[in-house]
Amino acid sequence: MSKFVYSIVTFSIIAYLSILAFMFFFQRTFMYHPSAKNYSPDKITFQYEEVFIPSSDNIVLKSWFSFDLPSKKTILFFHGNAGELDARIYKLNILKDLGLNFLIISYRGYSGNKGKPSEKSFYEDAQSAVKWLENKGINKENIILYGESIGTGVATEIASRDNYAGVILESPFTSLVDMGKKLYPFLPVSILQKDRYENDKKIKLIQYPILIMHGKADTIVPFDMGKKLYDKAQEPKFNFFPEDDNHMMAFNEDMKIALSSFFAYLSKQ
C-alpha cells in the first residue's frame, strides 16, 4: 500500500470515528427540540389551570390541567419531541369538545422546566403525572394515555406497566433504533443509540383498549411502523389510518369521529 493510499485510509478511519464520537455524545441534541417555535395559531376554547407537578431530581413540570367533567375520563397527554404546550392547543380544543378532561405535561427541559430530556427522565416525569392525578382522586381506570410522536414511546412504556382505561398512539414508531437506522444508515445505530423507546417490544404487554392513528403520507415516521404496531397490539384494538395525513395529523371531522368512537367504546367498559 502506498503512503498516499495509507494516508487516505487512515484519514477516513479517523474521520468516521470522529463522526461516531460526535453522534454518541451529542445525539440528544438532534433528538429533542424543546425550544422549537411550532406554536398553533388557534385560540384556547377550554378552561384550564396551570399547575406544576413535582418529578424526580427536584424537577417540577409546567402542565395544564382541565377537569370540569368529574363523571368523564381524563386524558393524560404526552407530547412530541418539539415545542411547548401551546403547540397542542388545536388538539386540546378537540379533546375538550369531545367531553374529556385532560392533563398535558411538559417534560423536563421543556416550557422553561429545569433538567435535560432523556428516555429515562421522560418515563419518570410521566409516572409523576400519573401519581399527581391519583392524588387528585383520579384512578388509573379513568385515565386514557395519549402519546404523540416521541410521546408514543412514553405512553407505551407507562401503559405496559399497569392497567388504564385506554391508550392512544398518534404517529408512533416501532423504536428509535429503527428510526435511527432510517435516518443514519451509515452509522451503527444499534450500538450508539442511548434512548431507544422500544414500542415494538412493549405493545404486546398492553391488555386493554388501544387506538393507533397514523397518516399514510407521513414523511417523518413511516406509516408501516404504525401499521406494524397495530398488527402486534392485542385486542381490543382500533385504528385510524387516513390516506393524506402527514406526521402532524389533521384534527378534522374524520379524526373527531375516530376519537369519539373510541371514547364511546371506553365508556361502555
CB-neighbour burial class of residue 221 (10 A; exposed 0-12, middle 13-18, buried 19+): buried
Active site residue 247: yes
Q: Please write the tens of the pLDDT for every residue from 164-218.
A: 999 999 999 999 999 999 988 988 989 989 999 999 999 999 999 999 999 999 9
The vertex-196 CA angle with 193 and 200, nearest 5°, equals: 135
Active site residue 218: yes
| 42, 56, 160, 247: the active-site residue | 247
User: Would you say 156 and 167 are in contact if contact means Cβ atoms under 8 Å apart?
Assistant: yes
Residues 6+ away with beta carbon under 8 Å from 93: 42, 44, 45, 46
Give me the percent of the chain exceeding a pLDDT of 90: 78
Residue 2 scores a pLDDT above 80: no
Residue 6 scores a pLDDT above 80: no
Looking at the DSSP bridge assignments, the partners of residue 170 are 148, 213
Residue 67 scores a pLDDT above 80: yes
Least confidently predicted of 5-14, 22-31, 156-165, 216-225: 5-14
State the pLDDT confidence band at 30, using cuts at 50, 70 and 90. Answer: confident
Count CB atoms within 10 A of the CB of residue 253.
8
| Per-chain mean pLDDT for the chain | 93
Active site residue 175: no
Residues 6+ away with beta carbon under 8 Å from 138: 67, 74
- Strand segments, DSSP code E, in 106-251 are 143-148, 166-170, 210-213, 237-240
Residues 6+ away with beta carbon under 8 Å from 8: none
Residue 8 scores a pLDDT above 90: no
Q: What are the CA-CA distances from residue 80 to residues 16, 169, 237, 253 (Å)?
A: 31, 11, 22, 23
Which pLDDT belongs to residue 164? 98
Count CB atoms within 10 A of the CB of residue 34.
18
| 125, 178, 195, 218: the active-site residue | 218
Q: What are the CA-CA distances from residue 98 to residues 2, 5, 48, 263 (Å)?
A: 72, 67, 16, 9
Residues 6+ away with beta carbon under 8 Å from 162: 140
For 32-267, the fitting CATH number among 3.30.420.40, 3.90.930.12, 3.40.50.1820, 2.60.40.10 is 3.40.50.1820
| 149, 171, 175, 195: the active-site residue | 149
Residue 40 scores a pLDDT above 70: no
DSSP letter at 82 equals B
179 is written with which cell numbers? 428510526
User: CA-CA distance, 236 to 51, in Å (whole number)?
Assistant: 34
Which pLDDT belongs to residue 4? 66
Which pLDDT belongs to residue 83? 87
DSSP letter at 110 equals S
User: CA-CA distance, 255 to 261, in Å (whole number)?
Assistant: 10
